[in-house]
Amino acid sequence: MSSTKYSLECRSCNHNIGDMGAWFESNQQCPECGNKWVDVNYTADMAGVKKLIEIKDHEAKSVFNYFDFLPIDSKENIVTNGEGVIPVERWSFLEDFAKKYYNLDLKVNVYRNDLNPGTGTFKDVAASVAASGLKEHGIKQYCVASTGNIASAFSHYLAEAGINLAVFVPENALKANVAEVSAHGQKIFRVKGDYAMAKKVAAEYAAKNGILMSGGNTDPLRVEAKKTMVFEWLRQCGELPNVYIQALSGGTGPIAIDKAVRDLEGIYNLKNPRYIMVQPSGCDPMTQGWEKSKANGFPEGWLQDYPILENPVTEVPTLATGNPATYPIIAKIVKDSDGDIITFDEAKVKDISRIVAFEKGSKIGPASSTALGGFFESLKNNILRDGESVLINIGEGMNRAPELVEQMIYTSQLVSSVEECEVPNREDYREVVWDKIVSEVTVNA
């Protein structure tokens, strides 16, 4: 029996595809035109979301607070660890920095996805909703290609749902991701080559074995899950930020936020935040495409003009999408929002992580440092405007990269007697941890 709760509509030809079951049957593409990007529409009045957004903190238990607007029919199929209800936190030290060095009055919040209880990344909501949707349709075998964090999150939640998973990652994926998949008893194939190669082998594996493969950045289960970020910001803050900063790989984040803003049209008076998307210097094809088109005044056909980087070498493997097939979607959303796509010099990942650990005690991972690095980069390049409220997506914690944990060591001293042990003053280290970022201000301001 098909769902009476929701249906999928093709974004290209508007064909009504039916529910997730019909979607899986048509090989996750529009049966009319073959397009893989759909919108999920709900039969319930979207205005009902208001009641859910007004719920108190102690009543909001997980992303399934928004069950009425997720493509799952029965609550019995929910697979959750309480993900998605994570704090929006004001980080005033970033506001102080913007004021002191750039004379800008900004409001700066961060979205603490590192506190998600599943795997501590912003992939947990996507994986919990996906696991629930797959369970609902009786799927027992699934596969996914990933740069790392989707691999971890899907392994975790699908194991909980009793679903077998085959994960395909590029050979240089972070060891912590490989370990996490393995720990759940899910199969991990490390594919010789880059993420594009891992995707290719995964697609062939899916076809060969008749196994369903995760639909990537436009997968409706992932997009619908992540759209709840917007509901949460409204619930916690009562408004949307003017600027949204996120590390960019394939871009599920902006696709999902844009969907939520469209869903809430006429219910709330909202507009898309200005998207500032940040790529690491070792893998920044979207920035390269964007910069070129920007310099040429966004000429006809610009959305199709982007480079493909083969075997990108980056310190942030999580963001290593060298062939950014979603560029036409992402770049349009960014352009329409008056935003930007920028690059962060990944050699400074450790500097950013040290600053945050020093100022806030929070230990953030490489992809999070890339996003936050984008904030400093935006200040340097006059991208942020006086009075704006900025939200930075902290997408993962430092447990993601034990290599980065080791780089937090700067106060350690080997001694052989007490004579060598001076009484410390923690304040002395502030200048040390900020040195790199502050030195760039004086050079560029």
Does 129 sit near ligand PLP (CB under 6 A)?
no
Identified binder of ligand PLP from the candidate list 10, 247, 261, 383, rule CB under 6 A: 247
Pick 13 or 207: Cβ nearer Zn ion: 13
User: 227 by DSSP, 3-state: which?
Assistant: helix
Does 251 sit near ligand PLP (CB under 6 A)?
yes
Identified binder of ligand PLP from the candidate list 3, 109, 116, 149, rule CB under 6 A: 149
Q: How far is CA 180 from the centre of its chain?
A: 18
By CB atoms closer than 10 A (0-12, 13-18, 19+), residue 439 is: exposed
Pick 3 or 353: Cβ nearer ligand PLP: 353
Identified binder of ligand PLP from the candidate list 249, 343, 353, 362, rule CB under 6 A: 249
Pick 108 or 248: Cβ nearer ligand PLP: 248
Residues that contact ligand PLP, how many (by CB under 6 A): 18
Does 116 sit near ligand PLP (CB under 6 A)?
no
The b-or-e profile of 395-428 (16+ CB within 10 A means b, else e) is bbbbbbbeebeeeeeeeeeeeeeeeeeeeeeeee
Pick 132 or 146: Cβ nearer ligand PLP: 146
Shortest CB 326 distance to ligand PLP, Å: 8
Identified binder of ligand PLP from the candidate list 147, 172, 314, 323, rule CB under 6 A: 147
Residue type, 431: E
Binding letters toward Zn ion, positions 5-24, x by CB under 5 A: -----x-xx-x---------
- Whether 153 and 183 have beta carbons less than 8 Å apart is answered as no
Shortest CB 45 distance to ligand PLP, Å: 29
Shortest CB 220 distance to Zn ion, Å: 14
Pick 32 or 160: Cβ nearer Zn ion: 32
d(CA 131, CA 76): 12
How many residues are recorded in the chain? 445
- Strand-pairing partners, residue 187, are 166
Pick 351 or 396: Cβ nearer ligand PLP: 396
By CB atoms closer than 10 A (0-12, 13-18, 19+), residue 56 is: exposed
Pick 7 or 246: Cβ nearer ligand PLP: 246
d(CA 293, CA 301): 10
d(CA 348, CA 354): 10
d(CA 240, CA 261): 10
Does 343 sit near ligand PLP (CB under 6 A)?
no
Identified binder of ligand PLP from the candidate list 219, 395, 401, 433, rule CB under 6 A: 395
Closest residue to ligand PLP, Cβ-based? 395
Shortest CB 24 distance to Zn ion, Å: 16
Q: What is the largest CA-CA distance in the chain?
A: 79
Does 257 sit near ligand PLP (CB under 6 A)?
no
Cα Rg of the chain, angstroms: 22
44 binds, among Zn ion, ligand PLP, none (CB under 5 to 8 A by kind): none
d(CA 363, CA 144): 28
Positions 29 through 88 that interact with Zn ion (CB under 5 A): 30, 32-33, 35
Check residue 26 and report its DSSP letter: T
Element (H, E) at 4: none
Does 248 sit near ligand PLP (CB under 6 A)?
yes
Q: Given the rule CB under 6 A, which residues bind ligand PLP?
A: 121-123, 147, 149, 217, 247-253, 318, 367-368, 395-396
